[in-house]
Amino acid sequence: MSAARPPKPSPPWALYGVILAVVGGMTLWSAFGVGLSAREIVCNLGGGTRLLRESWPPDFGFLPRLWGPFLETLQIALIGTVVGGIIAIPVAVLAARPVSPNWITWFLDRNFMNVLRTMPDLFWAMLFAAAVGFGPLAGALALSVFTVAVVSKLFSESMESIDLNLPEAVRAAGGSWVQMVRFSVLPQVWPHYASYVMYAFELNVRASMVLGLVGAGGIGMILNTQRASFEYERVTMIILMVLVAVLVIEQISIAIRRRLI
């Protein structure tokens, strides 16, 4: 009774070869394009260590001047999250397949969301700074748009996996489309929504620290002037502050999100 073992399936070598060639080719092309050379890095190492020595003991005397811009940064992030989070609700509802009223709305909104998501956050900040003038308002507007892009995508995805019996029941009882969304769709996904908005707030705090680099308000404006004058012990102070703030907010947000879902 010698059991005839089926032959071991041979791995798809051709596929592996193609993947390896594409990845290797991309890497080589990029490495040359970027100009990654070990020699250059080693030659610059002297300057680098000097910089690191200069930047280490952070300038704690600079801290009092940072509180104002820091608060402004948090305010920008809060406005962006609230405004963007509210606008994201209708955008997400219309882009969720089973909820969207018709095919055309779904298609248009879906593509609108995709285009919105392709733009990096600082691009929005540059555009708004040029459109409405330098300052925190530009940053708040940029983060609003960015929040719509992040939250609407996640929120519409979670609406696609809801229990569809409830919407049907509302429709069968004579409810309008708006009543259906209000009383059967949204109540199922509010916890997810709260969690996504909080996630967006984390992203926004992180992003609002660098908005000032393009003139859109917050602590980044100070960062930019100190960087330009090579005051790296002050740059370190700012980055340390950013780091602590981001870590603290992240931990709070993770703790709340774990209770929500």
Partner 1 sequence: MSAARHYPGRPRGGLATWASLALGLAFLASLWAVDASPERLIAVPGEVLIFLGRFFAPDMFFLSDPETGAWMCSVDWPACRAALGAHWGGILDYGRESVVAGILESIQIAWIGTIIGALLSLPLAFLGAGQLFPVLSRGIKALSSTIRAVPEILLAIYLIPIVGLGATAGALAIGLHSVGMLSKLGAEVVESIDMGPVEAVEAAGGSRWAAIRYAVLPQVIPEILAQWLFRFELNLRASAILGVVGAGGVGALLLNALRYRQFDKAAAVLILTVLAVLVIDMVSSALRRRLTRA
**Which residues sit at the interface with partner 1, rule CB under 8 A?**
26-27, 29-31, 33-37, 40-41, 44-45, 47-48, 51-52, 55, 71-72, 74-76, 78-79, 82, 114-115, 118-123, 126-132, 135-137, 139-141, 206-207, 209-210, 213-214, 217, 223, 227, 230, 232, 235, 239, 242-243, 246-247, 250
Q: What is the DSSP letter of 59?
A: -
- The type of residue at 201 is F
Cβ-count burial of 99 within 10 angstroms (0-12 exposed, 13-18 middle, 19+ buried)? buried
User: In terms of CB distance, is 1 or 34 closer to partner 1?
Assistant: 34
User: In terms of CB distance, is 101 or 251 closer to partner 1?
Assistant: 251
- Minimum Å gap between C-beta 81 and partner 1 is 9
User: In terms of CB distance, is 132 or 173 closer to partner 1?
Assistant: 132
User: In terms of CB distance, is 101 or 120 closer to partner 1?
Assistant: 120
Instruction: Residue 208: count other Cβ atoms within 10 Å of its Cβ.
Output: 33
- Minimum Å gap between C-beta 95 and partner 1 is 16
Per the structure block, which two tokens stand in for 197? 């908005």
Return the HEC string of 234-261: HHHHHHHHHHHHHHHHHHHHHHHHHHHC
What are residue 160's phi and psi, to 5 degrees?
-80, -15
User: In terms of CB distance, is 54 or 171 closer to partner 1?
Assistant: 54
- Minimum Å gap between C-beta 192 and partner 1 is 16
- Minimum Å gap between C-beta 166 and partner 1 is 19
What are residue 124's phi and psi, to 5 degrees?
-60, -45
- Minimum Å gap between C-beta 223 and partner 1 is 8
